[in-house]
Amino acid sequence: MTDSPTGSATADLSEASSAMDDPAYRAAVVDLLGAIAYGEISAFERLAEDAKLAPGLEDKVALATLAAGQLDQVAALRRRLEELGADPFEAMTPFRKPIEDFHRHTAPSDWWEGLVKAYVGDGIAHDFYREIAAFLDPETRDLVIATLGDTGHADFVVERLRAAFAVDRQLSGRLALWGRRLMGEALTQAQRVAAERDALAALIAGGVDRPGLDLVAVGKMFSRMTERHAARMTTLGLAH
């Protein structure tokens, strides 16, 4: 309940419970938390796998630590799903295929692609959570924001890539294309989810007594995400 802009803890609580009285809103929250939880489990698996590509033990440990951090919030998401009367693993199931498809279509072919994916993929996911948090009751919002976690570990990605580009200029050209492909694939899967999960889509579109986004606003949201993606690519030295 900290950092809530809407008032006291008591007000937040009643707001949360009244929001949950709306079955469509509750279904959307179950979907969202299920998607985030499966996304984190899947990110753990992929990063643990990609850590094998590390050129040395120190890099391997750095990526493995990023992987392990993905699981930090899974227990909290699971608890919240149970409180909402949902089976956590059933809630995750609809997101298994789009998330696995994303990873299958973006399997890194080497260590450098793995590093860019760890940084860029995490960034896209976090941007999306931050955007969607605006439509949530404060309690759910706090939980979603908590899953953003500590991104400090990712600093090593920036360092490693910048050092590599300094000695291999071709590498940055290849990885700039790779970064664009990651963003494209993320949008493809996100659209698929939006098309298939009515409750989630309705959450963004708004409800009778809940503000939502019209098409123009949705477009603006995606352009904000694209801008932030471009900023991350620049941070990595992958501006084009």
Helix runs in the chain, H state only: 9-20, 23-50, 57-69, 74-83, 88-92, 96-105, 111-133, 138-146, 155-167, 169-196, 198-205, 215-235
Q: How far is the CB of 211 from a second copy (least distance, A)?
A: 34
Is residue 181 part of the contact set for a second copy (CB under 8 A)?
no
Helix runs in 134-214, H state only: 138-146, 155-167, 169-196, 198-205
Q: Exactly one of 20, 76, 89, 199 binds a second copy (CB under 8 A); which one?
A: 89
Is residue 35 part of the contact set for a second copy (CB under 8 A)?
no
Is residue 51 part of the contact set for a second copy (CB under 8 A)?
yes
> Which single residue is written with the structure tokens 């699971």?
78
Is residue 74 part of the contact set for a second copy (CB under 8 A)?
yes
Is residue 152 part of the contact set for a second copy (CB under 8 A)?
no
Residues near 165 by beta carbon (within 8 Å), at least 6 away in sequence: 171, 172, 237
DSSP state letter for 2: T
Residue among 58 and 209 whose Cβ is closer to a second copy: 58
Q: Exactly one of 20, 24, 48, 204 binds a second copy (CB under 8 A); which one?
A: 48
- Exposed (0-12), middle (13-18) or buried (19+): which is 76, by Cβ within 10 Å? middle
Residues 215-234 within binding reach of a second copy (CB under 8 A): none
Q: Exactly one of 56, 85, 152, 211 binds a second copy (CB under 8 A); which one?
A: 56
Judged by CB under 8 A, which stretch of 51-59, 112-120, 159-167, 204-212 contacts a second copy?
A: 51-59
Binding residues for a second copy, rule: CB under 8 A, are 38, 41, 44-45, 48-49, 51-52, 56-58, 60-61, 64-65, 67-69, 71, 74-75, 89, 92-93
